[in-house]
């Protein structure tokens, strides 16, 4: 007998619930199951299930991180999305390592506003030992002046350099995989994703927690987004910044069409389902989803970059905190101490 639409709908929802219950018991979803979930028509049910998983594993805590662009422009790498690449002609500011006083002032301001974490981010493939010493000097003074958890994002550092960061008081190292391994070489050819993985492994070996995520909307398929989510699971990413491509004039992706709201929300939900206990973080491109941030927060998000971002202006921190509290999130620093 042919199955009617209502029976089919009930089977789809029942399967989603069974997968959710397995994850709540500590089991993992398979790649094949994630592909099936990406195609279900009952999207609201998918988002709700992801939110239930978020509540089970992390409660209503929300982790708030701020970043400062500590060296900008003239990057030697040819990443198609990046405004700071020397291969692109953009209006991005160009400057070397920031002044220590400016960095400390920014960190103190961010802490006063309610941020939990602070990270310096530098353009370029890596840092020379001399520039690393300048960065370490900034971190030492930020640590003296604030109680912020310190993070770092300085490209493809080696193990000795990462150990110096750890010894200075850095807790997290950020190195985005950016996209699925199967798609990476279509976006960047000056380095390989394996080099990123080597840096991440070295950071873990010296005792740093890992912040690693990617950008969606660069021409990848939904299957490749799921591939990225599983790669991040494999490296045990503690924090996963989920960026949405904001096409910047002068880059080779400046004409990429925007993703639909459904694609974005489905991706967020799947990242949560695949990585149930990680911080899934609002990051770049938030201005593109300002009309549906409430929905995103109820589809698995439990962390955010707040304040200004690398090459774009971010959302007002005070406004962010009001919105998070309105939705029942705990914004106190003690949440993640």
pLDDT digits (tens, 9 = 90+) for 109-131: 999 999 999 999 999 999 999 99
Going by pLDDT thresholds of 50, 70 and 90, the confidence category of residue 108 is very high
Q: How far apart are CA 267 and CA 242, in angstroms?
A: 9
Residue 81 and residue 215 in contact, taking contact as beta carbons nearer than 8 Å = yes
- The structural domains of the chain, ordered by start, are 54-336 (3.20.20.70)
Q: Would you state the structure tokens that stand for residue 54, as one six-digit string?
A: 């978020």
Tell me: the pLDDT tens digits for 165-181? Answer: 999 999 999 999 999 99
Query: Cβ contacts of residue 8 below 8 Å, gap of 6+?
Result: none
Q: Please give the mean pLDDT across all residues of the chain.
A: 93
Share of the chain above pLDDT 70, in %: 93
Residue % of the chain over a pLDDT of 90: 88
N residues, the chain: 337
Among the listed residues 100, 102, 78, the one whose alpha carbon sits nearest the alpha carbon of residue 88: 78
As given in the structure block, the two tokens for residue 108 are 């103190």
User: Residue holding tokens 């941030």?
Assistant: 293
Mean pLDDT of 326-331: 93
Burial class of residue 119 (count of CB atoms within 10 Å of its CB; 0-12, 13-18, 19+)? buried
Helices marked H in the chain: 5-24, 31-38, 43-58, 100-113, 129-145, 159-168, 193-205, 222-234, 261-274, 293-297, 317-326
How many C-beta atoms surround the C-beta of residue 23 within 10 A? 21
Separation of alpha carbons 299 and 327, rounded Å: 12
**For residues 167 and 133, is the Cβ–Cβ distance under 8 A?**
no
Tens of pLDDT along 254-309? 999 999 999 999 999 999 999 999 999 999 999 899 999 999 999 999 999 998 65
Whether 36 has a pLDDT exceeding 70, the answer reads: yes
Alpha carbon distances (Å) from 182 to 73, 194, 211: 27, 12, 21
pLDDT of residue 334: 56
DSSP class of residue 320?
A: H
Phi, psi dihedrals of residue 228, rounded to the nearest 5°: -60, -45
Q: Give residue 6's pLDDT band: very low, low, confident or very high (50, 70, 90).
A: low
Residue 149 has pLDDT above 90, yes or no: yes
Confidence of residue 2 (pLDDT cuts 50, 70, 90): very low
**Pair 250, 90: CB distance under 8 Å:** yes
Q: Supply 14's token pair.
A: 């029942």
Contact status, residue 92 vs residue 311, Cβ threshold 8 Å: yes
Asked if pLDDT for residue 60 goes beyond 90, the answer is yes
SS3 337: coil
What digits encode the pLDDT tens for the residues 213-264?
A: 999 999 999 999 999 999 999 999 999 999 999 999 999 999 999 999 999 9
**pLDDT level of residue 311 (50, 70, 90 thresholds):** very low
**Burial class for 91, CB neighbours closer than 10 Å (0-12, 13-18, 19+):** exposed
pLDDT value for 332:
85
Residue 142 has pLDDT above 80, yes or no: yes
Q: Does position 7 have pLDDT exceeding 70, yes or no? A: no
- What would the pLDDT profile of 76-94 be if each residue is shown by its tens digit? 999 999 999 999 999 999 9
**Above 80 in pLDDT, residue 11?**
no
H/E run at residue 156: none
> Mean of the pLDDT values across residues 161-166?
98
């Amino acid at each position: 007998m042919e199955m009617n639409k209502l029976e089919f709908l009930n089977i789809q929802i029942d399967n989603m619930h069974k997968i959710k219950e397995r994850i709540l018991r500590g089991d993992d979803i398979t790649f094949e199951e994630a592909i099936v979930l990406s195609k279900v028509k009952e999207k609201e049910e998918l988002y709700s299930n992801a939110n239930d998983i978020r509540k089970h594993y992390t409660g209503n805590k929300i982790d708030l991180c701020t970043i400062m662009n500590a060296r900008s422009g003239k990057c030697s790498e040819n990443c198609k999305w990046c405004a700071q690449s020397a291969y692109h002609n953009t209006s991005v500011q160009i400057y070397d390592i920031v002044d220590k006083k400016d960095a400390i002032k920014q960190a103190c301001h961010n802490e006063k506003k309610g941020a939990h974490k602070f990270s310096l981010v530098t353009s370029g493939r890596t840092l020379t030992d001399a520039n690393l010493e300048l960065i370490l000097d900034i971190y030492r003074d930020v640590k003296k002046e604030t109680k912020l958890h310190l993070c770092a994002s300085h490209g493809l550092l080696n193990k000795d350099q990462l150990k110096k960061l750890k010894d200075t008081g850095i807790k997290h190292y950020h190195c985005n995989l950016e996209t699925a391994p199967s798609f990476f070489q279509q976006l960047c050819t000056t380095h390989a994703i394996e080099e990123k993985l080597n840096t991440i492994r070295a950071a873990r070996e010296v005792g740093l927690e890992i912040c690693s995520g990617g950008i969606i909307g660069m021409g990848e398929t939904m299957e490749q987004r799921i591939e990225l989510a599983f790669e991040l699971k494999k490296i045990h990413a503690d924090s996963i910044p989920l960026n949405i491509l904001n096409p910047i004039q002068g880059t080779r992706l400046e004409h990429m069409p925007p993703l639909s709201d459904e694609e974005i929300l489905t991706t967020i939900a799947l990242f949560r389902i695949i990585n149930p206990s990680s911080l899934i973080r609002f990051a770049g491109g938030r201005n593109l989803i300002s009309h549906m941030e409430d929905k995103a927060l109820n589809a698995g998000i439990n962390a955010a970059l707040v304040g200004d971002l690398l090459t774009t202006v971010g959302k007002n921190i005070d406004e962010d905190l009001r919105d998070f509290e309105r939705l029942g999130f705990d914004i106190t620093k003690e949440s993640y101490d």
